[in-house]
Structure 1
């Protein structure tokens, strides 16, 4: 298939999650992504991240973030290694890293440090708190950002401890921001012949994702609070509800969906109740509405409600991890693929597919590289 970044070469000094996630998106789109790793120190730390390993210096965790890339073993701190590294830079479009904010300058990974080697090179930096500020030397991870940027304070039940998201979404969003920034600046460099530095940070991205609650606070002093059942701050019903055998999410974001829900649920009488007559009324009477719909939705199983409401009213089962991945719809849309791997059972490893389609087709992946596999 056609991959739009075919012919783009990216050199990646990266490890663990956020940076590798972003460069993996570039590889999915056809870029040649070369991971620079030092075999003497074990390479990317995620190669040793368990509990599921694949032979030596490889793991399922590593495969998750580095499929489709190449690996070159180079010691950036040795004279010989730097010569080899500079040779890679001479033919590259981008140099990316996800090091602590003060490290790129020390390792010579900034545009000023490499522009004489390749003036059109784009240098993308992903760090915890950014560069050139009072926290550039601070280490940081996703969970810290969820804590300080308000995510945990907005998540969970009102009377429960603050709750983090179940996955490292700040890492993934920041990696995506890096990929977007890298492609954008490559386009600019190709037009002008001059590269640049482009920075993204976990903290910046997390704050940016506060989105409309931030706008409400900054302009109206309105502070969104945690609501029961993960409810939407201004629309009801838009929250989780009990069913006969579990939980489901119902989101009547418009009057049309509320009306359709009441009719399909066999309760058109709810449309005539003054407490539920419109969105402001339903918001004011959120607790009564929640109790009323709990009683109604508890009369049928989640699957039964999905058959009644699916495709007509925004409704979804709340699933466990196994239920989410074993969902027949996941198979239908091809969100799981198999790649060849010599150390996996039967030589095949199942991984998530790219979320991007080109002409209706998802780009096929290939396994992440063995450490130093393409050094020569």
Structure 2
């Protein structure tokens, strides 16, 4: 793929982070122009066992090396990579990094200009606590049991935060000449994303939690539609299109056509309404 917009051209990234967040962050840094070497264990990235197609997309433009970091040869090769790297991305618990000689004090002594972005589950000093996306979402109040989440919210937010922290570390180094350790905790990411729930906005009955008729999911003749007419001008057009301003009237009207038909009508009337993806005839496009 062409990298026509490459603000990180000339930046060298080494990533040891496997599974979802690390590969997503590494791929984004690569799209921003950085050269990225992914160091994975000899058995490969576990994500390949669960979602091989996704991993192939993420790794497509990276240089991937399989190294046994517990062996002298593997460790020597990693040290050679780190000697010329600008950013190290990890997603291991602190104790595991220290066992590999990659604790921050030791790492900074060897590579004083290196920016280390450490993705962890919980902020220090609890960065050795076990967890995964599901547990971070659960603790933050983002789940509706027994339904499992459709999106790996904490993982993907953590990946974006890792990119931001890498950029912050590089900016700080440009000012001071020193590398720094930047920590990204999934638990913190999930908690921040739950702010709309904590403040009642998306809680059950809140404005965006079913309390406002102009914002919600409604059954159509087939499948469902999503209506998001928040601004006054959109809400006015939605009322004109749907014949009312209350949940019952809108629901009754929307049941009279298919989801795809309602999406076309909404586009014609400049109303933010789309067919929910997966519904028969859904295009998956969004109104603007």
- Whether TM-score is above 0.5 comes out as yes
Secondary structure of the 1:115 match is helix
Flag as ranges the 4+ runs of structure 1 deviating above 4 A. Answer: 321-324
CA distance in 1, matches of 2:10, 2:265: 49
Which residue is 2:219 aligned to?
242
TM-score (norm 2): 0.88
Compared CA separation, residues 200 and 120, structure 1 to 2 (3 A): same
CA contact (8 A) 2:9 2:34 kept: yes
Greater RCO, CA 8 A, separation 6+: 1
Q: Is the Cα–Cα contact under 8 Å of residues 101 and 130 in structure 1 kept in the other structure?
A: no
Query: Alpha-carbon deviations, 1:280-334, whole Å to 9, x = none?
Result: xxxxxxxxx222211111112222222221261111111129977x74x59xxxx
Other-structure match for 2:164: 180
Whose radius of gyration is greater, 1 or 2? Answer: 1
CA distance in 2, matches of 1:110, 1:321: 50
* Structure 1 residue 46 displacement after superposition: 2.2
Asked if the contact 2:23–2:55 (Cα under 8 Å) also holds between the matched residues in 1, the reply is: no
Q: CA deviation at 1:227?
A: 4.9
Alignment-derived partner of residue 164 in structure 1: 148
TM-score norm. by structure 1 comes to: 0.68
Change (3 A) 1:322 1:118: farther
Mean Cα displacement is larger for which, 22-31 or 305-314? 305-314
Once the 2 structures are TM-superposed, how far is the Cα of residue 98 of structure 1 from its aligned partner?
A: 0.6
Choose which of 3, 8, 27 in structure 2 pairs with 1:5.
8
User: d(CA) in 2 for partners of 1:321 and 1:103?
Assistant: 46
Structure 1 pair 49/303, CA: closer, same or farther in 2 (3 Å)? closer
Are 2:94 and 2:103, in contact at CA under 8 Å, matched by a contact in 1?
no
CA gap of 1:322–1:145, structure 2 versus 1, over 3 A, is: farther
Q: How many residues align?
A: 282
CA contact (8 A) 2:88 2:114 kept: yes
The structure-2 alpha-carbon separation of the partners of 1:106 and 1:322, relative to structure 1 and needing over 3 Å to count, comes to farther
Residues 321 and 313 (structure 1), Cα distance of their counterparts in 2 relative to 1, 3 Å cut: closer
1:292 is matched with 249
Work out the CA distance in 2 between the residues paired with 1:308 and 1:192.
57
Residue 140 of structure 2 corresponds to residue 137 of structure 1: no
Q: Secondary structure at the match of 1:116?
A: helix
User: Which 5+ residue runs of structure 1 have no aligned equivalent?
Assistant: 51-58, 156-160, 217-221, 271-275, 277-288, 331-376
Conserved in 2, the CA contact under 8 Å of 1:120 and 1:189? yes
Deviation at 1:90, TM superposition (A): 1.1
